[in-house]
Chains A and B, each alone.
Chain A
């Protein structure tokens, strides 16, 4: 299996993770979507020096990992390409903000270091939560939830089809990569001079398959509006989940839990 094929498999794995059974999987997608949005807003609203405040927000993804049975390793494996980019945000803060802010024994941390760590944690937590939403909810269910939020049909259908077409493109790329390597033994990667025709061919083949697929959809009555597979109905448990989570996020945001706990211990 080549690297591109592995990529396509990873996409399919997300569908499989979303098809698992767990208390989190059984929640209504709309409840999960709203909770995730509330979480993201809360995390992003912390001030740049509020490292301890942001740290407490780790509780939510940890709880989700526990309840959904999604392995933490899978999350970090799938996010391995994005995480370094997120971690790079704020990398230059320590150079611009050298004001000492925190002293831990002999170690003095500047404001730049604190803000860098805060930004990194914010990014990682947001990515983890977004991943958990995707891993516990199928893309169709998510799109159905977006439609229930009265989002226009066009961007939602576009999102869904893009997700599907990425898989097709990956399959075509995998077949082409195999064909290339079978006639270029011992060569690592694809030679730079072949990139142009390779990408051109990939585009043409993807377009061909895409239009064939679209014809298949048209012939089965598709007229631009997706009728999503059965979406779980909203139940009491969804209301409880959403209310409790949002209430906890507010508590975490408005009251400095880490400081409160610290003061209790120190006293």
Chain B
């Protein structure tokens, strides 16, 4: 479904962010993209979404990501931003949710149906007419996911979906992610969440592919994780004292 073929990218020539990255994601997979700060996780997302132009080829359902195909590609990929405030820029949740369906040419009735369906799916009906600046961080994160669901994308990309959430809201978001049937690519430092939601993990290190395999195997490999400035998930005893 998604194919990265020899992708390289650099903001400055001497410091490549992604180097010759190749991997393939099949339909229905839940992939966790992990790595230390600066490993290139967010860049992978941006390159895939066509926000950054990289060397190499990226194919989504056989269509190459180019300037001309961006509309078609972005229609298939729903991206939940790390900072929900940047995603929820309209006055109310409803207006934010209807934004994408209308942009993609749906009639108002069809768009409204999609909004209601997405809200119902996440149990957020009471948020529909609430003002974005009046809802809590957890609600905002859920609403941001709902805005993406209203697009009915084939793949959902999430950048740090559980960051800055309290344990209760974090659990709600995790359960929501698990309930979504779409293909998912999730970048996060929250390895417990990755273990909970993903069946496959891609470990990036210095812009290169360090490991790619079942989540359970990679996230239990202490030596591998520590070699790339990571730790075991907390639930597997990852919080150990340094020094």
Contacts and interface: CB of A to CB of B under 8 A. Distances in A.
B131 A216 contact: no
B74 to A, nearest CB: 6
A137 to B, nearest CB: 12
Interface string B123-138: 0000001010110000
Interface stretch (B56-64, B78-86, B163-171, B193-201): B78-86
B71 interface: yes
B151 A220 contact: yes
Contacts of A164: 89
How big is the A interface, by class?
A: 20 to 34
B98 A219 contact: no
A140 B95 contact: yes
B133 A223 contact: no
A218 interface: yes
Contact of B147 (A12, A16, A220, A230): A220
Contacts of B81: 212, 215-216
A221 B74 contact: yes
A11 to B, nearest CB: 9
A44 interface: no
Nearest to B108: A230
A163 B192 CA distance: 40
B142 interface: no
B21 interface: no
B103 A229 contact: no
Interface in B125-160: 129, 131, 133-134, 147-148, 151
Contacts of A230: 108
Contacts of B49: 219
A12 B133 contact: yes
A159 interface: no
Nearest to A229: B95
A221 B51 CA distance: 13
A216 B133 contact: no
A15 B129 CA distance: 12
B86 A140 contact: no
Interface of A: 12, 15-16, 19, 138-140, 164, 171, 209, 212-213, 215-223, 227, 229-230
14 contacts: A12-B131, A19-B131, A213-B89, A215-B81, A216-B79, A216-B86, A216-B89, A218-B74, A220-B99, A220-B151, A221-B71, A221-B75, A227-B103, A229-B90
Given A216-B87, A219-B77, 5 more contacts: A213-B89, A216-B89, A218-B74, A220-B147, A220-B148
